[in-house]
Amino acid sequence: MKLKSLAFRLFATSAAWTLLVLPIAGLIIYELYRDDVQATFDARLEKLVYAIAVDSMVGAATPIAPNNRYEPLFEDIHSGWYWQIQPIDDATAPRLGSASLDGAEIDIPFRHNIKPDANGARWMNSTGPMGEALRMVEVIDTPYYHREGPRYSVLVAGPIDWLESRVANFLTRLAVALALTGIGLVTVTLFQVRFGLLPLRRIEQGLAEIRSGAAGKLEGELPGEIEPLQVELNALIASNQEIVDRARTQVGNLAHALKTPLAVITNEAREDKGPLGRKIVEQAEVMRDQVNHYLDRARMAAQVRVIGRATPVLEVLDTLKRALERIHRDRAIAIQITCPPSVRFAGERQDLEEILGNVCDNACKWAGSAVRVRVTADSRRTPGRLEIVVEDDGPGLSEEERARIGKRGVRLDETKPGSGLGLSIVTDLVQSYRGTLQLAPSPMGGLLVRLDLPST
């Protein structure tokens, strides 16, 4: 998941919220539970202290040990559960205590500083005979039949440990439960984001397919929210293609409209052998060259890089071979093509036909008997490129001639009509595709043309 992706944003906000909310919820639950356990504990102590007070004071002049044990742990020595009854006014009066105290007394050092609650009970935390932390409650009472008699302090204590261990136990389980919930939520979020954004992935793949030329438009059914995007995108691709096609047609029409009258003028002027005729022929040829040059330029300008164009090279070569063998059939030129069927040119079919048509036609014009076309695409060494080598067994070119026709627009043989190399349009096209064209001597004896072009 990339940091700048939609998926990450959705996931991060959701996960952050989960990680923030779960601990707060845990804290609240913990506090509520703790209060509840404390209240239950206190209620028990309160119940015990009143029961013991009543039991020990009723029907006696001096307190007596309560009959009921109430809590078995009062009998367990140093169990943490204690009761004791001590006189407040008369130091000689008898003192009583639970068996668990084993004769010891619980010191109540700060009795006077603690305000009794509505029932007259005082609550405090202190330590027991073993130094253990205790929660205590004390009530002041007098024997039932001796209302004006000396007052006694009745006290019941329970271990705070019991309380703490319960809360701690609960906390552990709560933490585990919340942690599991957290992990579960984050996992679900991750899944939700992946699932929810699946259509976007499909768009990504669809665009890659369009770019590579495997598809002509964005296919498949997409959710309502992004369907307009799909519709608009397909419309854009279609309109892009339409504009290019229209421009091409217009250029073709212009070519037709200009070239036919030009042919008429030239032919007419040739009939006239005088100086006027010669001048017109000369100027008409200049016009022809200019028209050709600017029509080529116009075609190039119309050639907006349309996304998603891929042309199988072998198909183009096969149709060209058929046409060329027909055009040059008197001379029985053998055109041999080596091309893997999977190689595809990243561009317009018409452009590849124009490039290869001119190059191969030249090769056929000059060849003795054989023309060889070899196409290679090494996806590991030169990914995204393809190489086309066209060579013939004709007379070839000298180094100086090769250098000269490398310059655009130069025709090697100006005397014979149609025998120029036509390389000007080829170099322009190749350059517009960021390709290269090289000329070299061929081992077959003639010229070797090496083209480097983009592939998909």
* 15: exposed, middle or buried (Cβ count in 10 Å: 0-12, 13-18, 19+): middle
Site for another protein in 330-359 (CB under 8 A): 330, 349-350, 353-354, 356-358
Type and span of the H or E element at 453: strand 447-454
Phi, psi of 431 (to 5 degrees): -65, -40
- In angstroms, what is the minimal distance from the CB of 360 to another protein? 9
- In angstroms, what is the minimal distance from the CB of 410 to another protein? 19
Query: What character string, x for contact with another protein (CB under 8 A) and - otherwise, covers 264-283?
Result: x-xxx-x-------------
Tell me how many degrees the CA angle 147-151-155 measures, rounded to the nearest 5: 125
What is the sign, positive or negative, of the torsion defined by CA atoms of 17, 23, 26, 28?
A: negative
Euclidean distance between CA atoms 226 and 196, whole angstroms? 12
- In angstroms, what is the minimal distance from the CB of 300 to another protein? 12
- Is 255 an interacting residue with respect to another protein (CB under 8 A)? yes
Contact partners, residue 179, CB within 8 Å, separation at least 6? none
Q: Which of 262, 318, 266 has the alpha carbon at shortest distance from 294? A: 262
- Is 103 an interacting residue with respect to another protein (CB under 8 A)? no
Other C-beta atoms closer than 10 Å to the C-beta of 101 total 21
- With H, G, I as helix, E, B as strand and everything else as coil, classify residue 374: strand
Which residue of 194, 217, 259, 402 would you call a contact of another protein, by CB under 8 A? Answer: 259
Query: What character string, x for contact with another protein (CB under 8 A) and - otherwise, covers 8-47?
Result: ----------------------------------------
Euclidean distance between CA atoms 424 and 411, whole angstroms? 9
- Is 323 an interacting residue with respect to another protein (CB under 8 A)? yes
Which residue of 25, 327, 334, 403 would you call a contact of another protein, by CB under 8 A? Answer: 327
Of 21 and 304, which has the nearer Cβ to another protein? 304
Q: Which of 368, 375, 366, 423 has the alpha carbon at shortest distance from 397? A: 366
Piece of the chain touching another protein by CB under 8 A; list 10-18, 103-111, 248-256, 431-439: 248-256
How many chain residues are in contact with another protein, going by CB under 8 A? 36
Type and span of the H or E element at 138: strand 133-141
- Is 263 an interacting residue with respect to another protein (CB under 8 A)? yes
- In angstroms, what is the minimal distance from the CB of 214 to another protein? 23
- Is 288 an interacting residue with respect to another protein (CB under 8 A)? yes
Type and span of the H or E element at 125: strand 121-127
Of 108 and 316, which has the nearer Cβ to another protein? 316
Of 142 and 350, which has the nearer Cβ to another protein? 350
- In angstroms, what is the minimal distance from the CB of 255 to another protein? 5
Token look-up 């906000």 returns: 13
Tell me how many degrees the CA angle 157-160-162 measures, rounded to the nearest 5: 105
Q: Which residues of this protein are in contact with another protein, per CB under 8 A? A: 252, 255-264, 266-268, 270, 284, 288, 299, 319-320, 322-323, 326-327, 329-330, 349-350, 353-354, 356-358, 361, 417-418
